[in-house]
Structure 1
Amino acid sequence: MLSPLRVLMVEDSEDDALLLIRTLRKNGYEPTAERVQTSEDMTLALLRQPWDIILCDFHLPGFSGIDAIALAKKMNVDIPIIVVSGAIGEEMAMDCIHRGASDYIMKGNLTRLGLAVKRELQEKEMRARQKKDEEALRQSEEKYRTILESIGDGYYEADIDGNFTFFNNALCRIWGYPPEELMGMNNRAYTDEETAQKLYQAHNKVYRTGEPGRLFDYEIIQKNGDRKVIQSSFTLLKDQDGKAIGFRGIVRDITDLKQMDKERQHSLEQLRKSLEATIHAMAVTVEARDPYTAGHQRRVADLAYAIALELHLENNRLSGLRMASTIHDLGKISIPSEILTKPTKLSNIEFEIVKTHAQAGYDILKDIDFPWPIARIVHEHHERMDGSGYPNHLKGEDTLLESKILTVADVVEAMASHRPYRASLGIEPALNEIIKNRGILYDPDIVDVCLRLFREKRFNFKA
């Protein structure tokens, strides 16, 4: 089956044109041909439709093969031109090739025409495929670059030694260097020695394990001397054969975030101090009404805090427990002072009045927006594991761990300290009380920790 072939013939001889068509058919082609003789006709033909090949005579009246080659080049068409002419000499033939012709064939010997056409069509197809691939690559690179420039974060690629080989504009902005200075720069140029060593170790680990690097915060020094805190993550960069050739990473400027966090921490510290001052004022208010128990809340807070440390409570819960312990008897401001300071044993009615202090303390604190459950801890500090406590007869599983810690600390300190109606019972009777009721009234783990503090770690109440 003959292959279709669109042929533009620059030829003044119709007989020669027919000869070329017959030769092409003998070589397996079915030509669709148009013959032109002038520059104007050739221009129109090139504009009218695409052509597979141009067969061009060298000598035409008023229009030479050189002119035809120049016209095709001017119109920027990728069409092979084969000069088919009589004897023009080797020098003239080479001139045609240098000007853009693909080949030269003598009219008197057309045996090479079929092979020449086949070769030129194959090369044209290869050029078209290469052009298509290059355009696809260009579009891919453009898309890649567009994405990199739109993310806002810095992107970089570096060789095995840590020298920049590629980066986006965001990285230049973060580093404060122009691209021409940043290219090839090593991390030792923009970090101190300690940071550079940490970066080396982090990249070396990625190189050895192949695992992506974890988020890594470090400080860089910009060209103008300013310092920036950045957060980086990076992975190994490999070639097509899987060989490690460097690293690629994403960096983010977190300087402002770090500053905001620092300011937030400062605000929290100021708030904590304000809360502590408020709590202290509350504690002083209670002690002013009940001078016989002055220091009781502070000593309970010290013991509760020590127990919580042994139980490995996190710092935030430790702070909440200490503050709740410091004002756990706040509700006593609602109790008549003559009851609080009575030097003899309380009557049943008086004791019931004293028991209201847990609820009263809760009512005072419940609407204050503490970052800890202080009101609840105060409310529950007289509850017991078996539900025999007050005010709500809650059992162990229904109360906070902090409340159970405060319960034990409160009992031990109260029994070991002087009261208006009795002298101090001493620490051993207090410890015997929690031993006797371990798992009944008091949480067993908390009891064990409390005993260890006094008997092994020599905990003492401060005066």
Structure 2
Amino acid sequence: MSDVMHILIVEDMPTDAELCEREVRQVLPISEFRCVETEEDFLNALDAFQPDLILSDYSMPRFDGMTALLLARARTPETPFVILTGSMNEETAVACMKAGAWDYVIKEHIRRLGSAVLVALEQKKVREERRMTAAALQESEERMRDLVFSIADWVWEVDRNCVYTYSSQQGSDLLGVSSEDIIGKTPFDFMPPDEAKKVRAIFSEIMANKAVIKDLENWNIRKSGEKICLLTNGLPVLDKAGNLKGYRGVDKNITERKKIEERLQQSLESLQKATSTTIQVMVSTIEVRDPYTSGHQIRSAGLAVAIAGEMGLPQEKIDGIHLAGSIHDIGKLSIPAEILSKPTKLTKLEFSLIQEHAQQGFEILKNVQSPWPLAEIVRQHHERMDGSGYPRNLKGDDILIEARILAVADTVEAMASHRPYRAGLGIDKALEEIEKQRGILYDEAVADACLRLFREKGYQLDGK
């Protein structure tokens, strides 16, 4: 994105175009604007002007916003597109959002245009960072794979006392000594003292069980004093009576791979930190647009973590549940703010648009590199055990355990807390619902763990 923002306005009314420009300049003062009102001028502007953002009137005599939207998606799908209209019914709003509009603003609420523009540009930034992250990780993985395949292996044999009886030339090259310096010695003679003690104990247990040596990493010292890491694999050699004679195997030099893995891990940590920061910005944006969401994700995540701990899940899964819970409503970035903060009950059409947030969350997160299936957990957190949930009507074990846990935590927090169209129902009502729907909508083990936390262990939603 250049320093000067290019804003393309599709509008046939000069006064409306000037009004849009005025509102946008309040949040993006360094901007260049171009206004068009025909399809031909619009297509030319896409190529020549290369807009960073498109603002389009929905209805014009010679052109219309929906056509402009479809043309823009075909030419520049990553350019944010915001619909402007004098009035818009629910059906039209839903159609625009499903067609790919990033947001819509009713002209009588034109002061919301600035915030809508900032949210759209933030979404664009996140998508670009996600693509760059995926490309960087793929490049690093391909480089490491090519390097591993080019490394020659050291073939060796040892007797039952772990003394080398054979060593290929690669062993001499790896250790910087002659074959004669290897034969008659043990692997431990080429290791640092602490490493030799550790590996000897592992070898003793393997040999006592006549087991296979599988991917045993060990550090060795070359004649020059340089440390190298070898990956050892080997098979037991037995006589006809089944007695152990020794081992035959190969060592692969994985020193460079270990260094690359270390650098890659550092890169991953930096990327995860950047992704986490970006996600937090997006979550904060949601909370500004939807006051109800403030604190909901944090409390839901805290309860989900407590349930997972009560169920005895491993820490790795608990960490994934915590992160997924913290961003499970990230898809609400795609929902108009008027709907999120509506103080009355949602219409059927509005609720159908709200339901899109689970799938939209998946779309935002699907390319984020992570040890956990964050995108799937977010997509599945409204699925139910009997198949009555959304967006894919999954049933039973087809739903990830992380999503089943988050579903219960999300329901309890949502019922107990205030929502825009009703006061909070309280924790007792929420727990009654979980108990009533245990084994129907909610996983039995998850529901039982949740009920124990509140009724037997004094858990509170604020985590105290």
CA positional deviation for 1:416:
2.4
Q: 1:193-212, aligned counterparts within 5 Å? A: 193-205=193-205, 207-212=207-212
Contact 2:335 2:357 in 1 (8 A): no
Structure 2 counterpart SS, 1:270? helix
Rounded to whole Å, the distance in 2 between the matches of 1:170 and 1:458 is 64
Instruction: Answer with 1 or 2: which has the greater Rg.
Output: 1
Matched, 1:366 2:363: yes
Contact 2:296 2:414 in 1 (8 A): yes
Structure 2 counterpart SS, 1:232? strand
CA positional deviation for 1:370:
3.4
CA positional deviation for 1:414:
1.5
Contact 1:175 1:221 in 2 (8 A): yes
What amino acid is the match of 1:347? K
Q: 1:316-331, aligned counterparts within 5 Å? A: 321-331=321-331
Rounded to whole Å, the distance in 1 between the matches of 2:398 and 2:168 is 58
Greater RCO, CA 8 A, separation 6+:
2
Structure-1 residue corresponding to 2:251: 251
CA positional deviation for 1:430:
1.8
Contact 2:236 2:247 in 1 (8 A): yes
Matched, 1:448 2:445: no
CA positional deviation for 1:280:
1.6
Structure-1 residue corresponding to 2:262: 262
Structure-1 residue corresponding to 2:224: 224
Q: 1:79-118, aligned counterparts within 5 Å? A: none
Contact 1:359 1:379 in 2 (8 A): no
Structure 1 counterpart SS, 2:191? coil
What amino acid is the match of 2:301? A
Structure 2 counterpart SS, 1:356? helix
Rounded to whole Å, the distance in 2 between the matches of 1:362 and 1:417 is 24
Structure-1 residue corresponding to 2:354: 357
Structure-2 residue corresponding to 1:295: 295
CA positional deviation for 1:229:
0.8
5+ unaligned residues in a row in structure 2: which ranges?
1-150
What amino acid is the match of 1:363? Q
Q: 1:59-458, aligned counterparts within 5 Å? A: 152-205=152-205, 207-235=207-235, 247-311=247-311, 321-333=321-333, 335=335, 337=337, 340-341=340-341, 346-347=344-345, 349=347, 353-363=350-360, 365-366=362-363, 368-371=366-369, 374-389=374-389, 395-396=395-396, 399-458=399-458
CA positional deviation for 1:340:
4.1
CA positional deviation for 1:154:
1.9
CA positional deviation for 1:218:
0.9
**Which string of whole-angstrom CA distances, capped at 9 and with x for unpartnered residues, describes residues 393-442 of structure 1?**
66556644443322211111122223455554432332122112212332
TM, length-normalised to structure 2 = 0.56
| Distance change (3 Å), C-alpha of 1:324 and 1:358 | farther
What amino acid is the match of 2:363? K
Contact 1:202 1:213 in 2 (8 A): no
Contact 1:329 1:357 in 2 (8 A): no
What amino acid is the match of 2:270? Q
Rounded to whole Å, the distance in 2 between the matches of 1:334 and 1:210 is 60
**Which string of whole-angstrom CA distances, capped at 9 and with x for unpartnered residues, describes residues 130-155 of structure 1?**
xxxxxxxxxxxxxxxxxxxxx94223
Rounded to whole Å, the distance in 1 between the matches of 2:434 and 2:240 is 72
Rounded to whole Å, the distance in 2 between the matches of 1:244 and 1:383 is 56
| Distance change (3 Å), C-alpha of 1:309 and 1:262 | farther
Contact 2:230 2:255 in 1 (8 A): yes
| Distance change (3 Å), C-alpha of 1:319 and 1:183 | same
CA positional deviation for 1:224:
1.2
Structure 2 counterpart SS, 1:229? strand
| Distance change (3 Å), C-alpha of 1:437 and 1:219 | same
Rounded to whole Å, the distance in 1 between the matches of 2:294 and 2:263 is 37
Rounded to whole Å, the distance in 2 between the matches of 1:189 and 1:391 is 61
| Distance change (3 Å), C-alpha of 1:409 and 1:186 | same
**Which string of whole-angstrom CA distances, capped at 9 and with x for unpartnered residues, describes residues 295-322 of structure 1?**
1112112222333445566677655544
What amino acid is the match of 1:412? V
What amino acid is the match of 1:266? Q
What amino acid is the match of 1:358? Q
Rounded to whole Å, the distance in 2 between the matches of 1:180 and 1:398 is 60
What amino acid is the match of 1:366? E
| Distance change (3 Å), C-alpha of 1:419 and 1:381 | same
Contact 1:165 1:184 in 2 (8 A): yes
Rounded to whole Å, the distance in 1 between the matches of 2:208 and 2:200 is 12
Rounded to whole Å, the distance in 1 between the matches of 2:322 and 2:251 is 41
Deviates more, 1:408-417 or 1:262-271: 262-271
Structure-2 residue corresponding to 1:91: none
Contact 2:415 2:426 in 1 (8 A): yes
Structure-1 residue corresponding to 2:41: none
| Distance change (3 Å), C-alpha of 1:325 and 1:354 | farther
| Distance change (3 Å), C-alpha of 1:232 and 1:329 | closer
Rounded to whole Å, the distance in 2 between the matches of 1:172 and 1:200 is 21
Rounded to whole Å, the distance in 2 between the matches of 1:312 and 1:355 is 36
| Distance change (3 Å), C-alpha of 1:312 and 1:263 | farther
| Distance change (3 Å), C-alpha of 1:429 and 1:154 | same
Rounded to whole Å, the distance in 1 between the matches of 2:393 and 2:214 is 51
| Distance change (3 Å), C-alpha of 1:340 and 1:202 | closer
